[in-house]
Every structure is written in structure tokens, then in C-alpha cells.
Amino acid sequence: MLYRFAKLGEADYRSFSITVAALKRPSTLVALILPSVVVVWITRHLRWSDLPQGRLLKTVVLLVAGTLAVGFALYEPSWFYGRDHIADRVLLIGLFTASFWRPMALLPLTVLAAIMASQFALPIGQYTWNDKRLIFDVLLLFCLCTVSSFTRRRQGLHVFVIGTGILLASWFVVAGVGKIGLGWVGREELDQLTRGAHANGWLGSDTALRLADFVGAWNWLLVPLTIAIEIGALLVLAGRRPAIAVLMARIGLHVIVFATSGIFFWKWIVLEAALILLLVRTNGKVLGLRPSVVLVAVPFIVLSPRLFGVTELSWYDTPYTVTFELETVGSDGQTYRVDRDQMAPYDVIFAQNRFDFLVRSPLAVGTYGATANWAVASRLLEASGGVDIAHVEARYGQNRYDPQKSVDFDRLVRARFGSDASEWPIHSPHHIWTGASPFGPRADSRDQSVREVRVRMRKVWWDGERFRVLADCVVRVVPIDPAGTSYGAPPSACRLP
């Protein structure tokens, strides 16, 4: 319900204050804001000291809440809406500060953060909640436990810790089961993830290729180890020592994922580190495997994709990557690159660059060359050239062209380059880290007057020794002048050789 009613309209986000706009929206007011106000009023006298292990619990929960407070108080100004929303950022920090004294201040903080986050789903969608939904759910669980059962001290804390363990386990177990279903062992080639990430702008060429070779040499170990860590997430419910071991293994997995792909689950790392602190300081008294926990955990994990919006993070990595990159044409007629961080706070959308809706031809792979179809992956792994890959796209590819999304994309791009968007010197860590494309122009577009923006699609294949650019073409041109007309490439553009 939180995510459904937290999303406001485009006009609401263009107003001076997101909070005031939410108060004027009946569905959001009734479903989220009024219940939060009522709960906060009822529990207004509740302090951390009234909760079991109050001082320690305060440290743990505020560490988790801090990821949202930092993330949504320090995101770059929204050039699409033309607003900084300073009042809402100040209110968010104020609620976080109030939560140092009153734990239930975390409820309106969570609601406000969700409303602020939902603005980035407009106008084209493509916004991912994967890195933050777990944090929202844990904070909502804490508020629920505080209201319903923390008056029964020992049981309330137990419910919160076990519930958090189930939420964490759900994301990992679902991913692990998905990988087993795909037959990852014997099929997955993790080194292709690093090469796909490099084609998307992660790491310099020498570093990326050496790292990919290293990952490839240890692929026989890394693939089953990844699945073991994900399925082993259930052990977080088995007691203090196995839980700490599992949480440390997860943090290690996040570090490996970041090093090999640039995808940084820093919010999850904070959550897992906070849970380790809780377990170490309580000597495991709040966590233990028992039949009732198993009975509760298993159905929740099985149903977690529907209950908690858990995404099955499972796919095959291939040597074939399709990227969409922005270029600008300056007033001097020169072409300049656009780094993905220049598009912040929409940087995640442009880092994933899932812009296949701009193209009138079928494409067979997603971000970094990923696919969940073994028929596609196996044929791409066996391909000997562009002709083979063209056959794969013709047979298995999907044409996702969407004219309305294309128009909304134009509005987004015009808003960025048609305004004096400023970059803040301080911001929260990005979820996906990328740099300049290794195949694009070197000149930086910053401080250049922009005449038009081009979307360039590149189809890049790793032939086992080097990258080969099989196709390189402009698929859409967006004039910055509002009177100009955008246009895309014909279906025959960017055909593979």
C-alpha cells in the first residue's frame, strides 16, 4: 500500500512542496498521512528507553533509517520538475533528528521518503526500487512491532529481528532459487558480467579485462559460491553464529558485485552491518531457530515476490551487450559525451539505460547483456560473428518500441539540457557507478551550450579476445529547442552485419 499511494502526479512534484501536494491528494492523505499522524499521536510518549535493548536498538534502527535520510535529503536538484524541494528535505532531516528521541518519528519519515522517491518513476518509469525497498520494509516492520508488540518487551524485539531476517532472506533465497532454476552451475559465465559492465562504462579497459580474466578463471568456484550464499541466507534464522557468518558473507558478496559490475548495494550493507552489531551485542539471545519461526519464514519467503515486491535477481550473462548513450551537439557543432552521473538524480535510469522503447527493431538482451532465456544465452556464447548474433535477435528478440514513452523521454532530456542544472558537491553514494563509455567521444559535455541531444545505440560483442562494435548508430535526435521535432532511426538502422 505504501508504494501504491506514495506516487503523486507530475503536477504535484512540480509544486513548491511535495509534502503540501501530498496533503492535497485525497488518496495519499487518507491511506498514508492520516494513519501516520494518528499512530505518532498515540505513541507520542514512547521513548527508546521504553523498548527492550533500547539504546542498542536505537543505534541499529537509526543506522538503517539514516540511509533513507541521507539518500533523499542529498539527492541532486530535480531539473525535470524545476524544483529543489528544500522544505521537504529539511522536513525529512527534521523527522530523522526527532527519531533520536521518539522512535515513532520513523513512520512519517518512511512515508515521506517513499513519496519523495516516487517522483523518479516519472515520466518514463524504469525506476528501480531493488536497492531500497528492503530498507523501507524493515522500517515499516519496526514501526509495526513498536505499536503492536513492543509493549511485551522480549517478544516484540524477537518479532522484529526474526521479521527482518525473513525480509533479508527473501531477497537472497528467491535469487538463489531462481539461479538454480536457470541451471546456473555449468551455464553461467560471470566474467561476461564484468565485460558487459565495462562496455557500459565501468572501469578502465586494462583493469576491466584483467578483472574479467580473473573472474573467468575462478568461475567454477564463484558460481556455486554465489548460490550457496543466497540459499544459505536462511541460516540467518538459525542462531547467533550462523547469522553473523551469513551476514558477513552477504557483505562480501556485495563487495564482489560492486568490484565486478559497479552495482553498489550500500544500503543493504549498512543494514547487514547493523544486524551484526545487534547480534554481537545481544549474544544471540534475540535470535534462534525454532519450529514457529520456520513455519512463518517459509511461506513468507515463498510469497515474498507478491507480498514484498521481491525481484528475482537471476539471469545469464552473455558476451553481447547493447548500450544506449547520450551525446550532445554543442553550438560549435562538436559532439560531446554525457556521463551518466550528469543525469543525476536520474542517474540509475541512465546507468541501466533500458531505452529499447526508442528502437523500432527487436533486441535480445538487457542491461549488461543479461537475459533469462537460455536459448538466447547459449547461442550468444557460441556465436562466431555478427551474422550469428543477428539470427538470435531476429528469432528471439522483442520489439519494445513505445511512441508515448519516446515522447516522455524527449521531455526528460530537454528538461536536463534546456535548463541550468547544477551538480551538488555532496550527494549520497550512487547505486550504479559508471564512467565514460570506452567506445564514445572523449570530450566532456559539461559547460557546453547544447543544441541537440543524440541517443546512440551500440551493439558490442566480446569475441574471446577483444571487443568488436558490431553496430553503432544514432537512434533518436532530440533538439533542445522546444520548437524542434524529435525523430528516431528507421527500423532498418543499426542492422548487424
- List the beta bridge partners of residue 461: 320, 468
pTM of the prediction? 0.93
Instruction: Mark residue 177 as left, alpha or beta (left: phi above 0; alpha: psi -120 to 50; beta: remaining).
Output: alpha
Band the pLDDT of 441: cuts 50, 70, 90.
low
Check residue 295 and give its pLDDT.
72
Average pLDDT over residues 461-482: 91
From the number of C-beta atoms within 10 Å of its C-beta (0-12, 13-18, 19+), residue 231 rates as middle
Q: What is the pLDDT of residues 283-306, one digit of tens each?
A: 665 656 566 676 778 888 989 998
Predicted pLDDT of residue 348: 92
pLDDT (tens digit, 9 = 90+) per residue, 45-76?
899 988 888 899 999 999 999 999 999 999 98
pLDDT tens for 324-372 read 999 999 888 888 888 888 898 999 999 999 999 999 999 999 999 999 9
For the chain, which residues make up each domain, given as ranges?
Answer: 1-73+81-121, 131-312, 316-488
Q: Is the pLDDT of residue 475 over 70?
A: yes
> Does residue 26 have a cis bond before it (omega within 30 degrees)?
no
374-409 pLDDT, tens digit each = 999 999 999 999 999 999 999 999 999 999 999 999
Residue 356 — φ and ψ, nearest 5°? -65, -15
Average pLDDT for 162-187:
94
Question: For position 159, what pLDDT does the model report?
Answer: 82
Residue 471 near residue 496 (C-beta atoms within 8 A): yes
pLDDT at 492 over 60: no
Handedness of CA 446, 448, 453, 459 (dihedral sign): negative
Contact yes or no for 321/460 (Cβ under 8 A): yes
- State the cell numbers at 72: 533523499
Q: What is the pLDDT of residue 148?
A: 76
Among 5-14, 263-272, 411-420, the least confident range? 411-420
Which range of 19-33, 118-132, 194-208, 233-247 scores highest in mean pLDDT? It is 19-33
Nearest to 247 by CA among 210, 288, 275, 216: 275
